[in-house]
Amino acid sequence: MTVERVLAPNPGIYTGPGTNTYLVGDGDEVAIIDPGPVIDTHLLAIVEAIGGRAAVAVIATHTHADHAPLSNPLAERLGVPVFGYGPGPEFEPDVRIADGDEVPVGMRHLRAVHTPGHSADHLCFTYADRLLTGDHIMGGSTVIMEDASAYLESLYRVRDLGVARIEPGHGDSMDDAGAVIAGYIEHRLAREQEILDSVGAGAGTVSEIVDVVYSFVPADLRAAATHQVIVQLSKLLAEEKVRFSAGAAGPSTMVELIARQ
């Protein structure tokens, strides 16, 4: 069994060193996970890394632009089907897979674990004792969330799989998966508490919460931090821990705590 990484040449503030394309192999078969953006040199690097082995599947963890768009062109070149949760911009799976579905590779199986939160269509994959996490867990940077409740639930799900090693969509592999996932859960709960504490201490708008809770972020990540606060406030709103002023949630939205009886 082999898990190899081919780094796409798309470094950036949200992608770290670039997108990790994985070649997951067993015997002389190999599946490709997250081909990345459409970059000709990266397609050639993937084909070269496959070498003389038989490609059996191209799979995307989710349909974001740094993970999925090369899937269809690569699969066409290799003559294999594309697997994914559903279609997205520049992505059209031949085979739709959902939680628990398996893709055979040699004598083993990649098994899909539906992990919404970063995006609603996000899948992680177990392979032997590994967990390929896409953008659900990343090496060295904070995951941008679409839904904070779903994200936390999905962290509990992957924690309970008991895998040994994490192969993230960005950054380096991580041993001691249990501790890494526990750290992610702790981090999310701590951020949520910091938001509540900041409001309790007088931060009255989204922008003021960002000033307190994300004071360390550089200017080019301010918009992302504001997004994270709004997403986390939406979870707290649903849990009836805070209320917002009327209107769309933005930097000037007013926030107050709902007093506990």
Active site residues: 66
> In this structure, are residues 241 and 193 in contact, taking their beta carbons and an 8 Å threshold?
no
**Of residues 24 and 143, the one with the C-beta less far from Zn ion:** 143
**Of residues 108 and 122, the one with the C-beta less far from Zn ion:** 122
> In this structure, are residues 181 and 137 in contact, taking their beta carbons and an 8 Å threshold?
yes
| Cβ 188 to Zn ion shortest distance, Å | 17
User: What order of strands is seen across the sheet that includes strand 108-114?
Assistant: 102-105, 108-114, 123-127, 130-134, 165-168, 174-175
> In this structure, are residues 29 and 105 in contact, taking their beta carbons and an 8 Å threshold?
yes
- Measured at CB, which residue is nearest to Zn ion? 64
> In this structure, are residues 159 and 181 in contact, taking their beta carbons and an 8 Å threshold?
yes
| Cβ 176 to Zn ion shortest distance, Å | 24
**Of residues 64 and 114, the one with the C-beta less far from Zn ion:** 64
**Of residues 60 and 181, the one with the C-beta less far from Zn ion:** 60
Which amino acid is residue 220, in one-letter code? D
**Binding site residues, Zn ion, CB under 5 A:** 64, 135
CA distance 104 to 108: 6
Closest CA to 91 of 131, 130, 63: 63
| Cβ 67 to Zn ion shortest distance, Å | 6
User: Is residue 240 packed enough to be buried (19+ CB in 10 Å), middle (13-18) or exposed (0-12)?
Assistant: exposed
| Cβ 22 to Zn ion shortest distance, Å | 15
